[in-house]
């Protein structure tokens, strides 16, 4: 209902207010927004560029969030219909592009990576002591997850790893953000009697840029599903801007890039909390390793994921239309 309300409002406003444009760009998810994009592109005689950052409804199906076969069949047909009505479909990972090419081989596609503005690699001076403000000690070793607290991440793994590390009192885990799983995870924290796990509300990007220099490592998990073998969580780049090491629980394309090729992350098997705890101990016992991984990550995203370079390629694609 939430998604569809925006379909109707965007379509109405588009019909009333939009002039004629050469190109209309639509972001998915939500997939349903493609309905208004297709209609507006036709009415305004524009070319449609459809960007896919997450394969939907496939992700909802694999996560068990939608089980009604009739609804799934309808949404899958809608997905392919929108692809075929687009002049080009862009995707953020090779996995997304491969899936689209397999199911809609006639559709023109373009790999449009997430990236980082390398100008922001010059980290601003930290204006507040986030650790002290939140009653952490200066020598506390902070493992940080920031972002959507949702089903895809499988964040139980962080709490269960924390349970294995309660014997080291200055190892602390912070989960910052909101989402449909937050309340359940807070209850799980209480059940496990965890005093080394902290939940904080979401903050602005500016505030996040003050927090990240004061953590020791980021944790990026996803559930163990074939769906996520082509996933590259965009929050990876934020940690590397601040030269922070990452514990990466994402197999497939992300592992190939940031573990095998970039050598800037430690990998743990998705949904394996024991492996995550082992990697935490490895970083905790070897501060130089953390610094080395962080420096390598900063250099890797600077060389491979500079948004200026990515946008120039995308601009060429748009001009070709």
Query: How confident is the model over 147-206, as pLDDT tens digits?
Result: 999 888 999 999 999 999 999 999 999 999 999 999 999 999 999 999 999 999 999 888
Backbone angles phi, psi at 163, to 5 degrees: -60, -35
Give the model's pLDDT for residue 232.
86
CB contact set of 219 (below 8 Å; sequence gap of 6+): 143, 144, 145, 158, 173, 246, 247, 249, 276
* Average confidence (pLDDT) over 15-26: 91
* Average confidence (pLDDT) over 134-153: 92
The domain limits of the chain are 7-115+307-320, 118-304
Query: How confident is the model over 282-314, as pLDDT tens digits?
Result: 999 999 999 999 999 999 988 888 888 899 999
pLDDT band of 127, cuts 50, 70, 90: low
Give the model's pLDDT for residue 126.
58
CB contact set of 116 (below 8 Å; sequence gap of 6+): 237, 238, 240, 241, 301, 305, 306, 307
Say which DSSP state 279 is in.
Answer: H
The CATH architecture of the domain made up of 118-304 is 3-Layer(aba) Sandwich (3.40)
Put simply, whether the predicted model's pTM sits higher than 0.75 gets the answer yes
Alpha-carbon span 174 to 249, nearest angstrom? 17
Cβ distance 211 to 241 under 8 Å? Answer: no
CA atoms within 13 A on the CB side of 260: 8
Cβ distance 141 to 245 under 8 Å? Answer: no
CATH number of 7-115+307-320: 3.40.50.2000
Q: How far from 263 is each of 191, 212, 235, 293, 295, CA to CA, in Å? A: 37, 20, 17, 7, 10
């Amino acid at each position: 209902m939430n998604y569809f309300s925006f379909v109707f409002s965007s379509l109405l406003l588009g019909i009333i207010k939009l002039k004629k444009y050469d190109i209309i760009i639509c972001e998915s998810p939500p997939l349903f927004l493609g309905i208004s994009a297709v209609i507006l592109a036709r009415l305004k005689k524009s070319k449609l560029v459809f960007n896919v950052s997450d394969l939907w409804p496939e992700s909802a199906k694999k996560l068990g969030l939608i089980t009604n076969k009739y609804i799934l069949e309808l949404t899958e047909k809608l997905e392919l219909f929108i692809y075929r009505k687009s002049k080009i479909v862009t995707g953020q990972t090779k996995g997304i592009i491969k899936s689209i090419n397999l199911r809609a081989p006639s559709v023109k596609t373009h790999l449009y990576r997430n990236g980082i503005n390398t100008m922001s690699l010059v980290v601003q001076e930290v204006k507040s002591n986030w650790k002290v403000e939140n009653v952490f000690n200066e020598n506390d070793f902070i493992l940080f997850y920031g972002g959507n607290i949702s089903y895809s991440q499988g964040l139980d793994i962080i709490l269960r790893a924390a349970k294995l590390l309660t014997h080291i009192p200055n190892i602390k885990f912070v989960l910052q953000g909101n989402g449909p799983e937050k309340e359940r995870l807070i209850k799980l924290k209480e059940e496990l009697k965890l005093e080394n796990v902290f939940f904080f509300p979401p903050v602005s990007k500016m505030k996040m840029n003050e927090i990240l220099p004061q953590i020791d490592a980021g944790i990026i998990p996803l559930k163990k599903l074939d769906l996520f073998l082509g996933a590259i969580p965009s929050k990876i780049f934020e940690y590397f801007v601040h030269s922070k090491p990452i514990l990466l629980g994402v197999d497939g394309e992300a592992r190939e890039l940031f573990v095998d090729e970039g050598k800037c992350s430690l990998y743990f098997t998705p949904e394996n909390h024991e492996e995550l705890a082992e990697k935490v101990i490895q970083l905790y016992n070897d501060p130089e390793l953390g610094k080395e991984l962080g420096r390598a990550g900063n250099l890797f995203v600077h060389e491979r994921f500079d948004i200026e370079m990515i946008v120039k390629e995308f601009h060429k694609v748009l001009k070709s239309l």
